[in-house]
Structures are given as structure tokens and as C-alpha cells.
């Protein structure tokens, strides 16, 4: 029952995005037979280090969506404090080593067991694919190095901004080459 409701909601969100695209990203299904796996392409936000880049990610939804958040994993090389690196992937400090994005709205609802986030900053069923991706775009505009998923990127962001800029520039160039 929950999976069918989640499926209907995701189909509606996909239709809405097709009818009324949002600047800065595009989204669609990885496989037309699975509404729970989405492919997302994010354009690097203007006036940021990521400007001009085209970054791909996979958004995986649980069967009880929207009660639980999806996971988002970059498949493009990314360097950011809120993401993880994996193999050749360079990630934002908010990313985990496997490319997984680490932002508050993707954390399970309720109180943070570590006490870093307010419950109001975490997942809520009112979020949509659009609000999630717009939050990721916002993250690219301003890295959060206070609670990083990628400690190395966060340290470089704080201590060696020029080196951070160079590494992000390589990611942007590589993303353009992949087009």
C-alpha cells in the first residue's frame, strides 16, 4: 500500500517537473519501469566555483516516501565538504566517499542523535524532488564545513581556499568533457 502511494506521488512529481521545468536542473527516471530511481543533472550555480559544470546524481527513494527521505549520490566527480568522494569522484565536504550527499533535509525525521541539527532542519514529508535538488544547488553555492561528510574537502575549504578552487575547477572541466 505505502509503495503504491509513494509511486503515485513520485509519478505526479515527475509529471509536474516535465510540465514546468525548474532552472538549474533536470530530472527523469533511470529506468522507465522504476519510479523509485531518478537521474538528476545539476548545472553548477552561477557566480559559484561550480558555475559551468554539469553534475549527475542518482536519487533513490524508499518505498515509504515521503515519510522517509531519498538518498542522493553524485556520479560525477565532485569536491565539496558535504559529499563523499569515491574512486575518481571528488566530492563536496557535504558528501560521503561514495558520492552520497549529506545535507540536513536528507537526514531521517526527528531529533538528531548527535545534537547538531534541529528536528525542523531534517526530513519532512513536505519536501519534493524539486525542493531537494534546489537545496543541493544551494549547498553548492555555500559549503557547510561545520559538519562535513568530506573532512578533507572541508579542511581544504577552510585552510587553502585557492587549492580548493583549483580542485573544483578540475571537476567542472571534467563534467564538461563528459557531455
Active-site residue list? 102
Query: Which grid cell sits at 3?
Result: 509503495
Q: How far from each other are the two terminal CA atoms of the chain, in whole angstroms? A: 40
Return the CA Rg of the chain: 16
Distances (CA, A) of 178 to 19, 40, 106, 137: 27, 15, 27, 20
Query: Which grid cell sits at 143?
Result: 559549503
- At 71 the three-state DSSP class reads strand
Amino acid at each position: 500500500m505505502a509503495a503504491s502511494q509513494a509511486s503515485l506521488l513520485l509519478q505526479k512529481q515527475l509529471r509536474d517537473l516535465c510540465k514546468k521545468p525548474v532552472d538549474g536542473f533536470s530530472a527523469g527516471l533511470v529506468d522507465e519501469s522504476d519510479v523509485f530511481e531518478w537521474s538528476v543533472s545539476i548545472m553548477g550555480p552561477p557566480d559559484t566555483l561550480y558555475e559551468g559544470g554539469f553534475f549527475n546524481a542518482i536519487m533513490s527513494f524508499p518505498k515509504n516516501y515521503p515519510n522517509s527521505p531519498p538518498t542522493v549520490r553524485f556520479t560525477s566527480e565532485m569536491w565539496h565538504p558535504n559529499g563523499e568522494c569515491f574512486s575518481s569522484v571528488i566530492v563536496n565536504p557535504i558528501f560521503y566517499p561514495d558520492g552520497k550527499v549529506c545535507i540536513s533535509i536528507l537526514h531521517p525525521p526527528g531529533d538528531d542523535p548527535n545534537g547538531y541539527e534541529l528536528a525542523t532542519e531534517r526530513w519532512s514529508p513536505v519536501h519534493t524532488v524539486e525542493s531537494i535538488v534546489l537545496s543541493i544547488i544551494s549547498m553548492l553555492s555555500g559549503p557547510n564545513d561545520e559538519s562535513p561528510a568530506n573532512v578533507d574537502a572541508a579542511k581544504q575549504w577552510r585552510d587553502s581556499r585557492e587549492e580548493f578552487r583549483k580542485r573544483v575547477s578540475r571537476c567542472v572541466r571534467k563534467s564538461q568533457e563528459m557531455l
